[in-house]
Structure 1
Amino acid sequence: MKRPSFKLILSLTLVAVFFILVNRYFLHDAVNELAASLIKKPAVALFRQFNKARSFTDALKNWKQLAKDNEQIRSKNADLTYELLKLEAIKDENLFLKKALNLPTPANAQLIYGGIYSFNFDPPGYSLLLNLGSASGVNVGDIVVNGEGVLVGQIKEVFKNYSRINFVTDPMFRVAAKARGSKTQGIANGASQDGLYLNLVTNAEEIKEGDIIVTNGSDIFPAALIIGTVEHIEINESRIFKKIRVKPAADGYSLGKVIVIKNNAHQ
């Protein structure tokens, strides 16, 4: 077998050295740059995604904390609103009680404070529902007024926790009455949609439209409770008595707090 010549070996050696030098001084940097460029872009993108994920996580934590803080604030606001409503209720009750101190009631009268929560103004009867019953000491015949001393009616039915009030305009309601500041007296009767009529006032007696009609105290009702205002007077010479229509001072639709005056005669 023929051995390789010295020139061939030398040529191969020089070629090898050349490639080694080229790789070391030229291709090495290019390869590194290529590798760096290939790795850098995904790394930067990955880093950005990581930052986005971390920002989202932080935002989620902040949102949860904000939601918690918001719920706490709402709870505190609800508590404050409740306290304000209680204070307003106490203030209203105090004002109501102060007015009640000036009511024209007997010195030994027993008063019970309550409220109207329903009404029925349809024939045949005009009635209101009171949120107090026998459990609170209410009895049939007790008298109901508001804080201004306006006559509302009289208890006609009593249950354990509520009562039915015969409103002043009910046809079955009657009370001895007079024109305030006058000696003219009569009997005020409920007249449904017409309000009340003041009966048994003769043509000779003095009374005029606009006069205030109050209880005269000759029956079981305390004196000086306001019933209403004379709205119309009709005089017929062929009759003995005037026809006097009275507009009730109590408005059943707007009644709220009321006072029950115990009627000792019905105990």
Structure 2
Amino acid sequence: MFSHKQFIFLGVALFIAMNFTVITMGSTESLPAQGLERLFISITSPIQQGVTKTIHFTRNIWNTYFMTVLAVQENVELKKQLEKTIEIKNQCKELKLENIRLKKFVDFTGLVPDTYVAAQVIARDPSPWFKTIMIDKGEKDGLVKGSPVLVSEGIVGQTIKVAHNYSRVLLITDRNSAVDALVQNSRVRGIVKGNNTVKCSFVYALRKDEVKEGEMIISSGFDQVFPKGLKIGSVLKVTKVHSQLFQDIIIETSVDFDKIEEVLVLKNIR
């Protein structure tokens, strides 16, 4: 009994011998094509045709596989390039927005002769009972406790704790915050108090004083913390009760505290 490998070896040897015989007989001009030669041709031709088709089929499969691998590699590379392009686009957009914000700072500080330090907001107090932020400037930058913190839109708050490289800022929306203020048009005086919400109260304005909705509230400068004339917010609602000495006034702050990213800290105010 022949083994499987021996059977394959004999088949390949027979195929090679038959092909060699046909080629030899076909190349001898002195010998006419006899019946045996025609028999060999008829036997080997289908085999040769099958081998040729197998080779072509294998070649096509290999080419298809090779092209698929190249397409996958190219697709991966294109995805990387696309991700990088999107990242660069986002960075350019962020730089553009930052430049707009910083330009407002430049225009704002150019109108005031005092010295400011620009700082980045690096953290926010997650507690609902306190409204504070952390900035990346501190004692080494000339900041002290009680330094006013501003943006171009108005007052943000003041520093309450100052370390070497960082400072904590109490926002004017915190219930522990108080800013001496004026109604810009009528000059009615009061105190802006935080409510731990996005709105503040303008308290101690006498009921007899005329305060209208939409009027601007500014810092008075009397508290010796914030310079005079800085924007705080606009009057949102005015309520007068005859039995009360003071009005109930709600103001909407000029600053959107949820979107603060950079601030200016005023130095050397004393």
Q: Shorter-chain TM-score: what band?
A: 0.7 to 0.9
Structure 1: unaligned runs, 5 residues or longer = 1-27
Map 1:69-218; keep pairs closer than 5 Å: 69-103=74-108, 106-115=112-121, 117-120=123-126, 122-123=128-129, 125-133=130-138, 138-147=143-152, 149-159=153-163, 162-193=166-197, 195-218=199-222
1:162 CA drift (Å): 4.5
Contact 1:151 1:250 in 2 (8 A): yes
Contact 2:143 2:267 in 1 (8 A): no
Contact 1:106 1:222 in 2 (8 A): no
1:136 CA drift (Å): 5.6
Could you tell me which amino acid in structure 2 is paired with residue 197 of structure 1? S
Residue-pair matches, total = 236
TM-aligned CA distance change 1:84 to 1:193, over 3 Å: closer
Map 1:24-39; keep pairs closer than 5 Å: 29-39=34-44
Structure 2: unaligned runs, 5 residues or longer = 1-32
Q: Distance in 1 between matches of 2:80 and 2:195?
A: 52
1:170 CA drift (Å): 0.8
1:134 CA drift (Å): 5.1
1:243 CA drift (Å): 2.2
TM-score with structure 1 length normalisation?
0.74
3-state secondary structure, aligned to 2:115: coil
TM-score with structure 2 length normalisation?
0.74
RCO higher in structure (CA 8 A, sep ≥6) = 1
What are the superposed Cα offsets for residues 79-115 of structure 1, whole Å, 9 maximum, x if unpaired? Answer: 4333333322222222112211332763132231323
Matched with 1:40 is 45
4+ residue stretches of structure 1 with deviation over 6 A?
none
3-state secondary structure, aligned to 1:193: coil
1:184 CA drift (Å): 1.0
Contact 2:181 2:192 in 1 (8 A): yes
1:47 CA drift (Å): 1.2
Q: Distance in 2 between matches of 1:73 and 1:57?
A: 24
TM-aligned CA distance change 1:37 to 1:256, over 3 Å: farther
Could you tell me which amino acid in structure 1 is paired with residue 245 of structure 2? I
